[in-house]
């Protein structure tokens, strides 16, 4: 029996290699050699260990299978074919336009949870799946992550190692495919598998060193991993291009398909080694039939009411809203990167402590954890200082490709944070977030609008970002006021406005002060609260341009990519759509143009030229 099982696995591995070659040779590009190194452990995993219902990718009991080394996806597609999930014909459309069988995996394929291809992200995402399984759904599924050895140089992998051991994720199994060769030569550690093991152990994991081409050793390792009391790292020594001597362990074969002639030779060599051309259709184990644990709702979801004029920081209103929705919606999960007392995410510890996870100072891992959790249908809010999302921009970018729903709050934006200085001041966050595919970018100015927008974000698709402010600002809106995405609020207007001030966050308050001073001197100015930066309220901006002929955009952000650029793009769109006439309006852009320093918030707003005094000067 064992002999038969061994042969079965070997035949399946041969098939996976052959199919990886076939589809990449047909495509004329792709990574067959990186697929071939992992064929043996994928064969054993698919045939014996994985539990997956291909007909129901949303089954909460399904294992997670994540190709952190996304470029090895021909192996994944070959495995899908072997499991009967896709046809051979579809597999052979690899990399063709219109095919979901892409050059790197994306969730256009229903069994792909998250896009990979930017290395070092699959394992961190797996941590999110595993947290969901262990602490939230409390289901026995496992998370299997196929890692490359090259990507072990990415710090994000070690953030994942650290967090997985902190949360004792014994349902997480990482296989490192140590094929020694990166894209342009040997990896940092080559075949020094012992060092991988030492590092994994030092980070609190179990670690098992195996010959990655010996299916019985693989079987034994998987079996041990299933019973481990901690996350397990299987360090598999493999050969890149294994199975075809002409390319095996040869450095020049990264990301290069075989020619048709070479492919023929390779397929013969691989099939001969297992006694003939394999043509296996395997039955992957069905998942368990358990129900995810459900937590009861413990609140009515009623947003906090604030008194007009009361001074409350929008970051505090974020916390107030999180406390309400965290209690009332059991799908809400909150993550924070070790600053929850500053971002006010700590309110979740009161509302639902079992759905708050401390990620420590590891912003990349925070985003990846969220991507994993939302794979498991959680509504995940993340928070840190807005400046530090720059640390995770690649994860956020990939989140958009993963079709992930991520709800991000960035506090402490702009020079108005004061004394801590420029390292802590987000001045590029709006630009960064506007440039994410399909994103929603929100920048409320008071507590009422912040709470309302956080509530809206909860059920929003895609990546949404809310910028909050450190300083206390007066409440502008009454309880119950609505703040639709893509809207704005015209907080002051008259029939004879000579200009329009457009601000958000702290600069809206400076704009209001400026308008009040001007009005006292007999000059009327319109003021728009641009709380929705993307999508933007084109109609209201166009109307203001037409009626007042001078737009003054004021923002606590660099000149590029923020409110100013967003308003100009809105004007251009209005023009194209014929909403605006052919007369150009005057445009003044007040923003941060010099490197700020430490100082008091008011001093810094003034030094940057975005205080009320400067706004007044723009129309004087």
Q: Give the footprint of a second copy on residues 370-429 (CB under 8 A).
A: 387-388, 390-391, 393-394, 396-398, 400-401, 418-424, 427-428
Cβ nearer to a second copy, comparing 184 with 480: 184
- Give me 119's structure tokens: 């290395």
Q: What gap in Å lies between CA 241 and CA 256, rounded to an integer?
A: 11
Q: Report, in Å, the least distance between residue 202 CB and a second copy.
A: 4
28-57 residues in contact with a second copy (CB under 8 A) are 29-30
CA 530 to the chain's CA centroid: 26
User: Could you tell me which of 470, 466, 471, 390 has the C-alpha nearest to residue 423?
Assistant: 390
Interface with a second copy, residue 548, by CB under 8 A: no
> Which x/- pattern over 279-318 shows residues binding a second copy (rule: CB under 8 A)?
----------------------------------------
- Burial readout 161-199 (b: 16 or more C-beta within 10 A, e: otherwise): bbbbbebebbbbbbbbbbbbbbeeeebebebebeebbeb
Q: Which of 431, 493, 523, 539 binds a second copy (CB under 8 A)?
A: 431
Interface with a second copy, residue 584, by CB under 8 A: yes
Cβ nearer to a second copy, comparing 271 with 340: 340
Q: Report, in Å, the least distance between residue 148 CB and a second copy.
A: 9
Interface with a second copy, residue 600, by CB under 8 A: yes
Residue 289 makes CB contacts below 8 A (sequence gap 6+) with 61
Q: Which of 88, 96, 246, 577 binds a second copy (CB under 8 A)?
A: 96
Q: Which of 184, 309, 480, 482 binds a second copy (CB under 8 A)?
A: 184
Cβ nearer to a second copy, comparing 306 with 388: 388
The piece of 43-51, 149-157, 460-468, 473-481 that touches a second copy (CB under 8 A) is 149-157
Q: Which residue carries 């506090």 as its tokens?
A: 411
Cβ nearer to a second copy, comparing 47 with 163: 163
- Give me 419's structure tokens: 């004394």
User: Could you tell me which of 369, 388, 365, 387 has the C-alpha nearest to residue 378?
Assistant: 369
What one-character DSSP code corresponds to residue 505?
A: T
User: Could you tell me which of 399, 421, 420 has the C-alpha nearest to residue 408?
Assistant: 399
Q: What gap in Å lies between CA 317 and CA 332, rounded to an integer?
A: 17
| 58 HSE (CA, 13 A, CB side) | 2
Residue 617 makes CB contacts below 8 A (sequence gap 6+) with none
Q: Report, in Å, the least distance between residue 526 CB and a second copy.
A: 19
Cβ nearer to a second copy, comparing 247 with 398: 398
Q: Report, in Å, the least distance between residue 522 CB and a second copy.
A: 25
Cβ nearer to a second copy, comparing 280 with 607: 607
Interface with a second copy, residue 470, by CB under 8 A: no
**Cα-based torsion angle of the residue sequence 441, 457, 56, 126 in order, rounded to the nearest 10 degrees:** 70
Q: Report, in Å, the least distance between residue 158 CB and a second copy.
A: 4
The piece of 39-47, 197-205, 236-244, 266-274 that touches a second copy (CB under 8 A) is 197-205
- Active-site entry in 151, 154, 363, 471: 363
107-126 residues in contact with a second copy (CB under 8 A) are 108, 115-120
Active site residue 516: no
CA 182 to the chain's CA centroid: 25
# residues near a second copy by CB under 8 A: 116
Q: What gap in Å lies between CA 587 and CA 523, rounded to an integer?
A: 18
Backbone Cα Rg of the chain: 28
Cβ nearer to a second copy, comparing 86 with 432: 432
Q: Which residue carries 């251009």 as its tokens?
A: 572
Cβ nearer to a second copy, comparing 192 with 249: 192
Q: Would you say 175 and 145 are in contact if contact means Cβ atoms under 8 Å apart?
A: yes
Q: Report, in Å, the least distance between residue 144 CB and a second copy.
A: 20
The piece of 83-91, 138-146, 178-186, 475-483 that touches a second copy (CB under 8 A) is 178-186
327-366 residues in contact with a second copy (CB under 8 A) are 338-342, 346, 358, 360-365
Q: Would you say 177 and 72 are in contact if contact means Cβ atoms under 8 Å apart?
A: yes
Q: What gap in Å lies between CA 492 and CA 490, rounded to an integer?
A: 6
Residues classed as catalytic: 363
């Amino acid at each position: 029996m064992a002999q038969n099982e061994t042969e079965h696995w070997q035949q399946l591995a041969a098939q996976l290699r052959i199919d990886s070659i076939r589809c990449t040779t047909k495509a004329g590009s792709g990574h067959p050699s990186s697929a071939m190194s992992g064929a043996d452990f994928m064969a054993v995993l698919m045939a014996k260990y994985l539990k997956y219902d291909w007909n129901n990718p949303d089954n909460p009991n399904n294992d997670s299978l994540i190709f952190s080394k996304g470029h090895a996806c021909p192996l994944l597609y070959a495995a899908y074919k072997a499991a009967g999930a896709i046809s051979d014909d579809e597999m052979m459309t690899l990399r063709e336009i219109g095919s979901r069988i892409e050059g790197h995996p994306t969730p256009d394929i229903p069994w792909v949870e998250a896009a990979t291809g930017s290395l070092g992200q699959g394992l961190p995402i797996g941590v999110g799946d595993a947290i969901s399984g262990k602490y939230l759904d409390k289901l026995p599924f496992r998370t299997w992550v196929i890692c490359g050895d090259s990507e072990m140089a990415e710090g994000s992998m070690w953030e994942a190692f650290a967090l997985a051991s902190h949360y004792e994720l014994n349902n997480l199994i990482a296989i490192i495919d140590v094929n020694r060769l990166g894209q342009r030569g040997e990896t940092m550690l080559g075949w020094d598998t012992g060092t991988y093991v030492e590092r994994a152990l030092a980070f609190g994991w179990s670690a098992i060193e195996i010959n990655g081409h010996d299916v019985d050793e693989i079987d034994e390792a998987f079996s041990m991993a299933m019973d481990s009391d901690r996350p397990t790292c299987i360090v598999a020594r493999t050969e890149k291009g294994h199975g075809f001597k002409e390319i095996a362990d040869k450095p020049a074969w990264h990301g290069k398909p075989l020619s048709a002639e070479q492919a023929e030779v390779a397929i013969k060599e691989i099939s001969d080694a297992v006694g003939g051309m394999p043509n296996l259709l395997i039955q992957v184990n069905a998942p368990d039939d358990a129900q995810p644990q459900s937590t009861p709702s413990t609140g009515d979801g009623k947003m906090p009411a604030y008194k007009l004029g009361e001074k409350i920081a929008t970051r505090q209103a974020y916390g107030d809203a999180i406390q309400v929705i965290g209690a009332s919606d059991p799908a809400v999960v909150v993550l924070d990167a070790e600053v929850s007392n500053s971002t006010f995410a700590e309110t979740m510890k009161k509302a639902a402590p079992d759905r708050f996870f401390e990620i420590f100072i590891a912003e990349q891992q925070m985003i990846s954890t969220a991507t994993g959790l939302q794979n498991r249908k959680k509504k995940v809010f993340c928070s840190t200082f807005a400046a530090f999302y720059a640390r995770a921009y690649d994860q956020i970018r990939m989140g958009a490709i993963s079709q992930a729903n991520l709800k991000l709050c960035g506090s402490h934006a702009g020079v108005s944070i004061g004394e801590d200085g420029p390292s802590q001041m987000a001045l590029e966050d709006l630009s960064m977030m506007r440039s994410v595919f399909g994103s929603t970018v929100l920048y409320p100015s008071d507590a009422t609008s912040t709470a309302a927008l956080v509530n809206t974000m909860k059920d929003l698709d895609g990546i949404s970002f809310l910028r909050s402010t450190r300083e206390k600002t007066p409440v502008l809106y009454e309880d119950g006021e609505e703040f639709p995405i893509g809207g704005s609020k015209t907080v002051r207007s008259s029939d004879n406005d000579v200009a329009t001030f457009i601000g958000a966050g702290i600069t809206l308050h400076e704009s209001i002060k400026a308008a009040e001073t001007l009005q006292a001197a007999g000059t009327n100015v319109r003021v728009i609260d641009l709380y929705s930066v993307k999508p933007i309220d084109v109609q209201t901006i166009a109307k203001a341009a037409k009626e007042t002929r001078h737009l003054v955009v004021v923002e606590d952000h660099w000149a590029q990519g923020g409110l100013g650029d967003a308003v100009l793009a809105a004007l251009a769109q209005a023009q194209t759509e014929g909403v605006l006439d052919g007369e150009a309006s005057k445009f003044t852009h007040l923003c941060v143009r010099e490197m700020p320093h430490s100082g008091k918030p008011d001093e810094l707003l003034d030094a940057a030229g975005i205080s009320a005094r400067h706004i007044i000067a723009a129309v004087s």
